[in-house]
Amino acid sequence: MNRSDFPILARQVHNRPLVYLDNAATSQKPQVVIDAVTEAYTTWNANIHRGTHHLSQLATAKHEQARAALAQFIGAAAPAEVLFTRGTTEAINMLAFCFGEAFITQGDEIIVSALEHHSNIVPWQMLCQRKQAVLKVIPLRDDLTLDTDAFRSLLSPRTKLVSVAHVSNVLGIINPVQEIIRLAHAQGVPVCIDGAQSAPHMPVNVTDLDCDFFACSAHKMYGPTGIGLLYGKQHWLEQLPPYQGGGEMIEHVRWSGTTYNTLPYRFEAGTPDYVGAYAWGVAVQYILDCGWQRILQHEQDLAAYAEESLARIPGVHIYAGRQPKAGVLSLNVYTPQGTLIHPFDLGTLLDHQGVAVRTGHHCAEPLINHLGVPGTLRISFGLYNTREDIDLFIAALQRAMQMLA
């Protein structure tokens, strides 16, 4: 876990050393991933699956090797259970459309949680509107954890799917997904896990979790932008209709009708991002080379150190304080008179000191409304962050507070 592996971290912002604490939005890329993209375009670039020539066959092999690597990385039973998408958002939209077409009728129910990112809310709202189905929401306890007792009562004979985040992108809370999966499966209900914020920070094994679907994005786990995946158990994927029509997803096309390709290609219409897939494979190997135990210990140390440091500053309120978290802390700051300092103002002053954080509702507006604030200031860690980053952030935050008090 060498910071020098990430060339962007050596740059300055506003004549200050860059302190990058916006990893929940996107992570920076190690040189090996950047080199992988260059290698692909300079040595074996060709459209895949369709050519008999050498470059096409080489590119096809690289693409499918990446699929196999990602399947192994998340513990899928077979590479065919991994569908490439443009990211977590498209993966959940794909599932909402395909599952909805196959299984959802008027009056059916889908359950999400009050902690969800918009990408795990809006696609289900659109499906419910299209199919006249009902969206139910798992509420929060006072400590901002999911109320699993309430979830138990929400399950009904009309429940057709549960879709929840593994880790909250606002609070960093690790949700009790194994319990949710167990309770849902006891009622014969499949479960989708939004793993956008878990896959970068902890080992995930979809077979051990026994989830039916799982979605994540490369760009949050040191890989390239514009590519992600949807995992699905084979028996579920085989029951779903295609998401898009075009090349690759077909077996035969006739004017009388079309027959569709086998898994996983039936869900991958058009030319895929084979360069992104290859670079993502390199990124996950980088994670494995760093070692999950080292990453977990390092990030837990950073989170504890940041929370302890922030707790010593009068006026700082940390949401879900002391709850087990994965790489994310959200906070707000109040003046001695008890007035909220707008997080956008803090974020702007932090930026001018070279510190990159995220402010706003973090695409989780219902949760922010529940908190009763206009937004939060969120810091989020990657494997390359250090205690020095946190010290610089704390010093910059205190300067900003003095200016805005």
Residue 293 CB coordination number (10 Å): 9
CA-based torsion, 87, 93, 95, 98: positive or negative:
negative
Let me know the angle formed at the C-alpha of 301 by 297 and 303, rounded to the nearest 5 degrees: 120
Specify whether the CB–CB gap between 147 and 140 falls below 8 A: yes
Residue 187 CB coordination number (10 Å): 12
CA-based torsion, 291, 292, 295, 300: positive or negative:
negative
Of all residues in the chain, what percent are helix, strand and coil, respectively (each to 5)? 45, 20, 35
Residue 256 CB coordination number (10 Å): 5
Preceding omega of 224 cis (within 30 degrees of 0): no
Helix axes of 343-351 and 387-404: crossing angle, nearest 10 degrees: 120
- CA dist 305 and 311 (Å) reads 10
**Three-state SS for 19?**
strand
Helix axes of 292-311 and 387-404: crossing angle, nearest 10 degrees: 30
Per-position b or e across 365-403, b if 16+ CB within 10 A of its CB: eebbeebebebbbbbbbbbbbeeebbebbbebbeebbee
Specify whether the CB–CB gap between 229 and 216 falls below 8 A: yes
Catalytic, 363? Answer yes
Annotated catalytic residue within 98, 128, 290, 363:
363
For residue 138, which phi and psi values (nearest 5 degrees)? -70, 120
Q: What is the CA radius of gyration of the chain?
A: 22
Which residues does the annotation mark as catalytic?
363
